[in-house]
């Protein structure tokens, strides 16, 4: 049990992701988390009102199981496999966070400045961020996991373009927009 609660080496995780991708390619499936929103909306009958949701969601049941597995795995990790070891951050990262009035995480993955302070500004920021992520994943034809893991594994040029856009957007956000917010 102790082995499961520790951080795994990148080569083990990378190998497991690669093995899953080979299995998906073999069975003719594509992986992506954002496509599950379309499946959930189609399940509720939204296809009667919005043509985008009028499709055979049953063909994607396996992908809904992936989402449930991710949620269940997250629950298990937080409640049963939690490690008390601190997250090691680069000292320069800590300095940059402190310059934005964000405290050092102290072993936590989420900064208290965003998630423990439920000010109207932070709630609006989280809602706007969620909307932009949803809009961006739909506009790009998939989310980061779909494009970066599945699309690149299938050698799809649109996925390469999307991943480059994700990285550029992340860099712009981290270096220019985040300092303006804080």
For residues 64 and 36, the answer to whether their CB atoms sit within 8 Å is: yes
Residue 37 has what pLDDT? 82
Specify if 139 maps to a domain.
no
Specify if 88 maps to a domain.
no
Mean pLDDT, the chain, integer: 82
* pLDDT of 55 higher than 80: yes
Q: Which of 132, 163, 168 has the alpha carbon at shortest distance from 147?
A: 163
Residue predicted with more confidence, 114 or 47: 47
Distances (CA, A) of 4 to 9, 28, 30, 85: 12, 31, 28, 14
User: Residues 6 or more apart from 182 whose CB is under 8 A from it?
Assistant: 100, 101, 102, 113
Specify if 129 maps to a domain.
no
For residues 163 and 150, the answer to whether their CB atoms sit within 8 Å is: no
Instruction: Find where tokens 């199981």 sit.
Output: 65
Specify if 50 maps to a domain.
yes
Q: Which of 46, 180, 5 has the alpha carbon at shortest distance from 100?
A: 180
Both tokens of 44, joined, read: 């509720």
Specify if 14 maps to a domain.
yes
Residue 84 confidence class, pLDDT cut points 50, 70, 90: low
Range of the domain at 21: 1-82
Residue 87 has what pLDDT? 65
Specify if 41 maps to a domain.
yes
Specify if 169 maps to a domain.
no
Q: Please state the domain count of the chain.
A: 1
Residue 108 has what pLDDT? 62
Please tell me the least confidently modeled range out of 46-50, 77-81, 110-114.
110-114
Specify if 20 maps to a domain.
yes
Residue 85, by phi and psi: left (phi above 0), alpha (psi -120 to 50) or beta?
beta
DSSP 33-83: STHHHHHHHHHTTGGGT-GGG-S-GGGGHHHHHHHHHHHHHHHHHHHTS--
Residue 15 confidence class, pLDDT cut points 50, 70, 90: very high
For residues 107 and 87, the answer to whether their CB atoms sit within 8 Å is: yes
């Amino acid at each position: 049990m102790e082995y499961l609660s520790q951080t795994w080496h990148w080569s083990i995780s990378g190998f497991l992701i690669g093995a899953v991708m080979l299995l998906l390619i073999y069975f003719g499936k594509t992986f992506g988390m954002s496509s599950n929103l379309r499946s959930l909306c189609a399940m509720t009958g939204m296809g009667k009102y919005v043509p985008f949701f009028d499709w055979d969601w049953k063909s994607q049941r396996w992908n809904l199981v992936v989402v449930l597995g991710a949620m269940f795995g997250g629950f298990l990790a937080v409640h049963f496999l939690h490690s008390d070891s601190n997250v090691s951050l680069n000292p320069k990262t800590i300095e940059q966070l402190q310059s934005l009035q964000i405290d050092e995480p102290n072993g936590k993955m989420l900064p208290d400045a965003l998630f423990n302070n439920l000010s109207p500004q932070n709630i609006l920021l989280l809602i706007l961020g969620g909307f932009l992520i949803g809009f961006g994943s739909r506009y790009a034809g998939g989310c980061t996991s779909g494009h970066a893991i599945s699309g690149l594994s299938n050698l799809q040029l649109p996925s390469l373009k999307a991943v480059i856009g994700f990285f550029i957007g992340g860099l712009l956000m981290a270096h220019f927009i985040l300092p303006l917010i804080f």
